């Protein structure tokens, strides 16, 4: 009997709020590689609904083992990475909370190695897809290595590690066609997440500007899972780990990301390398949120739920240390590519919680590192092959003999209603334990709220960030070919926020919505301003790059004084000229160029200025690349400075009558430079965006 969900209707919400299908057709039963029918593919076996996962769960172990060995030779996820050496210094002793030595002595430096990475793409993909960024830190402590393996987003798509292979299968290239690369804007991803309400909070983050960061030096980092601190007296507290960039978090616009990927697919990798090589060492503050068990029990969500965060307004963030990255790798393969992170690499004083996502990670990472060359298909060797039907969504790997057909390699799904489903008559562990509580596959009731924090996140965003979220959803769902998936996803957005759903629906040009019944009705939570990039963005030019387009015949003192003013703010000025040979100043002196105009589009700068002579302005106004340089900067909401003659280029770019506070005339050097700098410190002119760009 086929599930109604397979045809695109709302379906049945399971014990964890997931939308999934069951089948009693013998040929359609979901099985292990040994042919044992699976009764529950949504929950790992654990001791009680909130207890630790059990090693005897052979279905979980087989599924993740096979998944860990699917790709050779690169990592299955986080394949594209950038690494750096550095050190960590404690600024506030945590002796009262943990017996970990490196978190007690403020006089000691601890060596670290950090790997930043994308998630979905392969090793040869680009640096700026819309994607989560990995943020993994290996501390070389005196008591052993401690690996803090996290992301630049504090929550995750799923609550239970048993769903991780399904998540990654859905976002990776579709198996029957081998595309798209490093992109979530396609059917299988949105099919999966639209069937998994627990993903809604993470989707708000991924559709926000967090997923297109300006630089790896400007991303926040989070441990994601809940861990424990244990002190010398045996007292224990829950802990959440945070990294905060000293430069402040910053992002690019989607159109910039697209163009940067075309202009320089190594943009992030190059930026990190050059910053360290030039002595501008990236710095990150290290923070912790400490939660005792009584406080954790009083929260209105489960602290073991990785799809939830603890707002800083509820549990303040304590900054207790700083990390400085001061040395590039000597050899990319030997260090960045071969470094092996594992959440189970801990030191005394740091321990795990029973977070079901973390419990699965404790097995998965080590298994992945044991053999990056794979070898998971031994069950297909004739002597090992089961004689009964074997059907599941495990794919690929070395020595693959079967040839699975179709685009679907995950569950739940609605794209292939005839694919295998879990069966109530499948293998079920005897519930009575030998010595302790009952062994069950059941998600706690406290994990059922999938929408409240997603709504809180949206309501915490500034108006420009909300517009970007609407645009991101509209773009991604516009790539989805199956109408039922779009309708289902709009049903989830309607629960999160009516205005969000309305904006996306309008951009898509549809009013068709598939109503979704939530496992638990969402609540209206107080906004958390700390979640917004724009609301807490520092007014600074430090670490930014200002591009200055020059022509022949300009006053060299104007450029010199502008550079002095920019560098005094901690920013870098780059000279862009029509040709790489540079320009001749008014006094006939030669000023060399940092970039030729053809190789330095304005998207690579944080703000721009144009200084021309009268003749130079007329010449540039005939250059398409110069017109695009100014027009793109305006469209990307950047501050634009210009001297009198260069107004001709701005007018040719179509900006006549569109001047705003972000277009600054630079005639009175001291006063005008200050006006330009103060405007550029705000990063972008957000008020400009709704006048020039609609969502979708």
Residues marked active site are found at 78, 151
Under DSSP, the state recorded for 13 is: B
Do 617 and 648 form a contact (C-beta atoms < 8 A)? yes
The CA–CA distances, whole Å, from 608 to 215, 253, 392, 665 equal 18, 16, 54, 12
The CA–CA distances, whole Å, from 574 to 263, 271, 630 equal 17, 14, 15
Under DSSP, the state recorded for 527 is: P
Under DSSP, the state recorded for 259 is: H
Q: How far apart are CA 651 and CA 635, in angstroms?
A: 14
Q: How far apart are CA 584 and CA 555, in angstroms?
A: 10
Q: How far apart are CA 254 and CA 560, in angstroms?
A: 33
The CA–CA distances, whole Å, from 46 to 66, 199, 360 equal 21, 22, 11
Q: How far apart are CA 198 and CA 524, in angstroms?
A: 17
Q: In what order do the strands lie in the sheet with 663-665?
A: 595-596, 572-577, 545-550, 607-611, 640-642, 663-665
Q: Which of 154, 527, 437 is nearest to 305 (CA)?
A: 154
**Is the preceding omega at residue 73 within 30 degrees of 0, hence cis?**
yes
657: left (phi > 0), else alpha (psi -120 to 50), else beta? left
Which residue blocks in 84-197 are alpha helix, DSSP H? 164-171, 187-194
Please count the other Cβ atoms lying within 10 Å of the Cβ belonging to residue 56: 10
Q: How far apart are CA 463 and CA 31, in angstroms?
A: 48
For residue 692, count CB atoms less than 10 angstroms from its CB and return exposed for 0-12, middle for 13-18, buried for 19 or more: exposed
Those residues with Cβ within 8 angstroms of residue 177's Cβ, 6 or more apart along the chain or in another chain: 407
Helix (H, G, I), strand (E, B) or coil at 242: strand
Residue 613 main-chain phi, psi, to 5 deg: -85, 175
Query: Strands, E, within 477-538: which ranges?
Result: none
Residue 206 main-chain phi, psi, to 5 deg: -70, -30
Q: How far apart are CA 460 and CA 295, in angstroms?
A: 24
Q: Which of 682, 74, 158, 675 is nearest to 447 (CA)?
A: 158
Under DSSP, the state recorded for 19 is: B
Q: Which of 568, 524, 566, 516 is nearest to 545 (CA)?
A: 566
Helix (H, G, I), strand (E, B) or coil at 118: strand
Q: At what angle do helices 254-263 and 463-478 cross, to 10 degrees?
A: 60
Do 440 and 48 form a contact (C-beta atoms < 8 A)? yes
């Amino acid at each position: 009997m086929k599930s109604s969900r397979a045809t695109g209707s709302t379906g049945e919400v399971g014990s964890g709020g997931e939308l999934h299908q069951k089948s009693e057709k013998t040929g359609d039963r979901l099985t292990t590689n040994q042919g044992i029918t699976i009764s529950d593919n949504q929950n790992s076996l654990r001791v009680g609904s909130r207890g630790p996962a059990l090693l005897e769960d052979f279905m979980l172990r087989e599924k993740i083992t096979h998944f860990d060995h699917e790709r050779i030779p690169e990592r299955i996820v986080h394949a594209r990475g950038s690494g750096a050496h550095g050190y960590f210094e404690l600024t506030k002793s945590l002796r009262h909370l943990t017996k970990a030595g490196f978190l007690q002595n403020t006089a000691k430096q601890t060596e670290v190695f950090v790997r930043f990475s994308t998630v979905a793409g392969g090793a040869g993909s680009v640096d700026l897809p819309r994607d989560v960024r990995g943020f993994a830190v290996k501390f070389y402590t005196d008591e052993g290595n401690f690996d803090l393996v996290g992301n630049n987003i504090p929550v995750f798509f799923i609550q239970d590690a048993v769903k991780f292979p399904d998540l990654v299968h859905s976002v990776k290239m579709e198996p029957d066609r081998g595309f798209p690369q490093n992109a979530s804007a396609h059917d299988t991803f949105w099919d999966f997440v639209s069937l998994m309400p627990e993903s809604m909070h993470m989707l708000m983050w991924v559709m926000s500007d967090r997923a297109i960061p300006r630089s790896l030096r400007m991303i926040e980092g989070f441990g994601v899972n809940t861990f424990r601190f244990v002190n010398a007296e045996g007292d224990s507290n829950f802990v959440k780990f945070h990294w905060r960039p000293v430069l402040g978090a910053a992002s690019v616009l989607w159109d910039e990301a697209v163009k940067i990927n075309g202009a320089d697919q190594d943009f992030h990798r190059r930026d990190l390398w050059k910053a360290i090589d030039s002595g501008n060492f990236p710095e990150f503050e290290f923070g912790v949120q400490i939660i005792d068990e009584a406080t954790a029990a009083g929260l209105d969500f489960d602290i073991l739920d990785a799809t939830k965060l603890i707002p800083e307004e509820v549990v303040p963030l304590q900054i207790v240390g700083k990390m400085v990255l001061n040395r590039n790798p000597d050899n990319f393969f030997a260090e960045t590519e071969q470094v092996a992170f594992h959440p189970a690499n801990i030191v005394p004083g740091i321990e795990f919680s029973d977070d079901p996502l973390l419990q699965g990670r404790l097995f998965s990472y080590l298994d992945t590192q044991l053999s990056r060359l794979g070898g998971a298909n031994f069950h297909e060797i004739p002597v090992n092959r089961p004689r009964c039907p074997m059907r599941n969504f495990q794919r690929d790997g070395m020595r693959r003999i079967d040839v699975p057909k179709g685009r679907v390699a995950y569950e739940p799904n609605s794209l292939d209603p005839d694919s295998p489903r879990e069966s109530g008559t499948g293998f079920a562990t005897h519930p009575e334990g030998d010595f302790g509580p009952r062994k069950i596959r059941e998600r706690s009731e406290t994990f059922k709220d999938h929408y409240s924090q997603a709504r809180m996140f949206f309501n915490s965003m500034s108006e420009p960030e909300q517009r970007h979220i609407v645009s991101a959803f509209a773009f991604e769902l516009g790539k989805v070919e199956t109408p039922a998936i779009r309708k289902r996803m709009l049903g989830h957005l309607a629960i999160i926020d009516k205005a969000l759903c309305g904006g996306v629906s309008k951009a898509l040009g549809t009013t068709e919505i598939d109503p979704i019944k939530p496992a638990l009705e969402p609540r209206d939570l107080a906004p958390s301003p700390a979640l917004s990039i724009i609301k807490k963005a520092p007014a600074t030019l430090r670490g930014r790059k200002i591009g200055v387009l020059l022509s022949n015949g300009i006053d060299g003192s104007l450029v010199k004084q502008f550079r002095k003013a920019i560098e005094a703010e901690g920013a870098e000025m780059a000279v862009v000229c029509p040709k790489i040979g540079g320009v001749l100043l008014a006094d006939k002196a030669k000023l060399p160029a940092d970039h030729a105009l053809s190789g330095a589009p304005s998207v690579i700068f944080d703000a721009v200025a144009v200084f021309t002579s009268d003749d130079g302005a007329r010449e540039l106004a005939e250059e398409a690349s110069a017109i695009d340089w100014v027009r793109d900067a305006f469209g990307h909401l950047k501050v634009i400075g210009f001297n009198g003659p260069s107004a001709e280029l701005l007018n040719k770019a179509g900006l006549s009558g569109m001047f705003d506070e972000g277009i600054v005339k630079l005639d009175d050097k001291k006063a005008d430079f200050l006006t330009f700098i103060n405007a550029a410190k705000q990063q972008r002119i957000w008020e400009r965006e709704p006048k020039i760009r609609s969502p979708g």
